[in-house]
Amino acid sequence: QVQLVESGGGSVQAGGSLRLSCAASGFIYKPVCMGWFRQAPGKEREGVARIYTGAGSTYYADSVKGRFTISQDNAKNTLYLQMSSLKPEDTAMYYCAAAQTRTLCSSGYWSQFAYKGQGTQVTVSS
């Protein structure tokens, strides 16, 4: 059974940093792509960053480019999201997700990612 378990969320002041982790287990075949999404209250869920697990290439939403870094530790089957220079508008529930093909992944749509975690809350105060 595939599981994605996020951790590392919390409360931080604006300008601070957090590192989110996503522990993956149960995959028979390593997913082609993994990503982070977020959803703030009253807003639609949006893709934040994704990484193609083979080549290591990455994609970032414009809103986080230069502040967030997605990475992976293959030995630990763990995905990370290092978040720096956090802003109050980064406040949201953050979710880890995995997609099995490049086509599904490149869409950037939450619905195209077959495997999803339960989320971890990030709150940034001004």
Residue 63: the pLDDT is 96
Mean pLDDT confidence for 80-85: 98
Decide: 24 and 34 in contact? Cβ < 8 Å. Answer: yes
Dist. CA 27–CA 80, nearest whole Å:
18
Residue 108: the pLDDT is 86
Task: Give Cβ neighbours of residue 91 (< 8 Å, ≥ 6 apart).
Answer: 40, 122, 123, 124
The least confident of 46-50, 74-78, 117-121 is: 74-78
- State both tokens at 35: 């990503």
Q: Which residues in the chain belong to E strands, given as ranges?
A: 3-7, 10-13, 18-25, 33-39, 46-52, 58-60, 68-73, 78-83, 92-99, 115-116, 120-125
Dist. CA 110–CA 63, nearest whole Å:
17
For the cut 90, the answer to whether the pLDDT of residue 17 exceeds it is yes
Q: What is the pLDDT of residues 33-65, one digit of tens each?
A: 999 999 999 999 999 999 999 888 999 999 999
